[in-house]
Structure 1
Amino acid sequence: MNYLIRRLAAFPLVLIGVSIVVFIAIRLVPGDAITAMLGTEAGLLTPQQRSSLAAYFGIDQPWPVQYWRWFTGLFSGDLGISVTYGKPVLAVILERFPLTLELALLSMLIALAIGVPAGVFAATRNERPADLGVRVAAMIGQSTPSFVVGLVLIYILSAGFGVLPTMGAFTPLWQDPLQNLGQMILPAVTLGCAFAASVTRVSRSAMLDVLSDDYVRTARAKGAPERSVIWRHALPNALVPVVTLSGIEFGYLLGGAVIVEQIYALPGLGRMVLEAILQRDYALVQGSVLFIALNFMIVNLLVDLAYVALDPRIRLEGR
């Protein structure tokens, strides 16, 4: 409990630090929000019109004043007004986040469904041809960029089967689950395959360490079936590093898979942040990064709590 309280107490300090860094960083990018929003038409504005727009979006004051206004608004859930969308930043983020969350969950399920069994399979056949094949496949998967995997999958579908992935207007899961799955499965496979390679290597290494422990040899000496030794005794203890890797990767995925969202034209959080940076949408960038940082900290906290469920020998109070 003390560990949990300390971690929760650190959340505000981390978020304040993140907010200051992103506030300064986005304003160091050349250009301003009004020019990025209007393009060449910005040159047609009169000084009074430009001043009015700057005042409306809150960028007419010195940086410390802008930051203080934005920071104090956080306590009431006001993250500012998006220049790009013309509505509250929090509303824009909450519109995009469900897609990113679904993509992250599907990618994670695919990665674990492939990576953990492959790692166990390789570890139980250590230094045999099957183990070498899994290791080579994992190395290739880990070295291949996700955009290459995505383009190859699109090419295979179009050239081999004469179909293209479903793009266009995104359909939420609660409206039409089948159509939603048709839009999400290929991006999820693209991300999941790349992550599965990392899971395979980590789970194989962890299983090799666990299989040499005394309690595994004892279970075998007592005549326990090999399947029970592997999946019941060894695997739960080998999952601790896998959980660590999964938590870190899931936190990154919640930040948005920018390249994959661009390839498949998905209106997710990562693509939105990229567009906000290009448009110098200060409020949207600040709010999005703060939201992503909060998600990442929550995921890391849940990962630490999961350690105890997987291995009762771990005591968080002593960490």
Structure 2
Amino acid sequence: MVYYIIHRILIAIPVILGILLLTFFIKAAIPTDAVTALYEGQVTEGEAAEAIANIRAKYHLDKPWYQQFVIYVSDVARGDLGESIRTRQPVMDEIGYRYVNTLLLTFSALAIGVSVGVLSGVLAAYYKDTWIDVTATTFSLFGISIPAFFFGLVLILVFSVWLRWIPVIGSGWQGLILPAFCLGLIEAAPLSRIARSAMLDVLGRDYIRAARAKGMRESTVLFRHALPNALLAVVTIIGLQVGNLLGGAFIIEVIFGWHGIGELAVQAIQWRDFTITQAVILVGAGTYVLVNLIVDILYAWIDPRINLGT
């Protein structure tokens, strides 16, 4: 098991280096950098040229790109994500609580998605070809087809405008309810389909027939023998779902006014503050890699049939 974990960590290192390289070159895609935009129209041409030159030197923008990249990687390795060009505050302070809020939204949505998705998938498989199966299948098709931002607007219209149960923009747990359910119900759709397919496969296995032939209660057969084996497929896909949730959270945070790193990323792009933009993408991608690493380890721990030597 230890060798397997080390092997997976070593595989993740090139991915992380690729993420660092990608985030570094993001600023090259910005037509006008934040340094120029910061002084544009605010000072005279001579003053702007001097100020821009000083800031470029401060942020090493006057050096060749390969030197900038080495400095960038060494700073990240020390936990220094730089300083916002616009606010002049450390990026870690800018991200801080916003990252916690995004994780809270993401994993709340994941808990809702896994609970609803697995339950509906199990019921659909057990009651195959009944109205329960048709309802669950229709729900999953609807969830896969509808965009997250549109579903979010529908929830706001129904629960905030028409029913007035929940404010459009709230703080604390009240502000978390709608965005978490918006993301969670949409992510429950593919999990429901996967859980249904896995349960149908498991319920047709010989050991399930043998358990029923021994006179075991149906609840024991379903939850002690069938469900644990069916959940292996769900665990496999959870790592990918976290990536979808992080991407969806960026959009949902803007719609619901949830103060996470997605909202900060939109603001940073508007400000042309590439330092914050780099940091947000790096943190989001790093979280995705870390979650997938944890899922790989959990999957190997749950399923002993996996060859831990590879």
- TM-score between both structures, scaled by the size of structure 1: 0.89
> 1:98-131, CA deviations, whole angstroms, 9 ceiling, x for partnerless residues?
1011001110111122111110110011122321
The 5 A counterparts of 1:143-154 are 143-154=145-156
Distance 1:86 1:237 in 2: 52
RMSD: 2.1
Q: Give the C-alpha shift of residue 315 in structure 1.
A: 3.3
Note if contact 1:33-1:282 (Cα within 8 Å) is conserved in structure 2: yes
The 5 A counterparts of 1:271-286 are 271-286=263-278
Q: Give the C-alpha shift of residue 43 in structure 1.
A: 6.7
Note if contact 1:206-1:238 (Cα within 8 Å) is conserved in structure 2: yes
> 1:13-36, CA deviations, whole angstroms, 9 ceiling, x for partnerless residues?
222221112212331221111233
Residue equivalent to 2:261? 269
Counterpart among 276, 286, 306 of residue 314 in structure 1: 306
Distance 1:263 1:103 in 2: 13
Residue equivalent to 1:121? 123
The 5 A counterparts of 1:1-319 are 1-38=2-39, 40-41=41-42, 45-165=47-167, 167=169, 170=171, 180-254=172-246, 257-318=249-310
> 1:249-291, CA deviations, whole angstroms, 9 ceiling, x for partnerless residues?
1234346612100111112112222322333322222222222
Distance 1:42 1:267 in 2: 33
Residue equivalent to 1:176? none
Stretches of structure 1 that go unaligned for 5 or more consecutive residues are: 171-179
Distance 2:90 2:256 in 1: 26
Distance 1:131 1:48 in 2: 69
- TM-score between both structures, scaled by the size of structure 2: 0.91
Say which SS state the counterpart of residue 305 (structure 2) adopts: coil
- Aligned amino acid, residue 128 of structure 1: T
- Aligned amino acid, residue 88 of structure 2: G
Runs of 4+ in 1 over 4 A off after TM superposition: 42-45
Residue equivalent to 1:177? none
- Aligned amino acid, residue 25 of structure 2: I
- Aligned amino acid, residue 234 of structure 2: V
Distance 1:80 1:41 in 2: 25
* Closer, same or farther: CA 234–297 of 1 in aligned 2, 3 Å: same
Distance 1:39 1:235 in 2: 61
- Aligned amino acid, residue 224 of structure 1: M
* Closer, same or farther: CA 11–85 of 1 in aligned 2, 3 Å: farther
Distance 2:273 2:83 in 1: 9
Stretches of structure 2 that go unaligned for 5 or more consecutive residues are: none
Distance 1:207 1:277 in 2: 45
Distance 1:37 1:266 in 2: 26
Distance 1:8 1:247 in 2: 15
* Range moving further from structure 2, 184-193 or 17-26: 17-26
Distance 2:186 2:192 in 1: 10
* Closer, same or farther: CA 87–210 of 1 in aligned 2, 3 Å: same
* Closer, same or farther: CA 222–36 of 1 in aligned 2, 3 Å: farther
Note if contact 2:32-2:272 (Cα within 8 Å) is conserved in structure 1: yes
> 1:189-243, CA deviations, whole angstroms, 9 ceiling, x for partnerless residues?
0101101111111100110111111111111111111111111100011111211
* Closer, same or farther: CA 127–5 of 1 in aligned 2, 3 Å: same
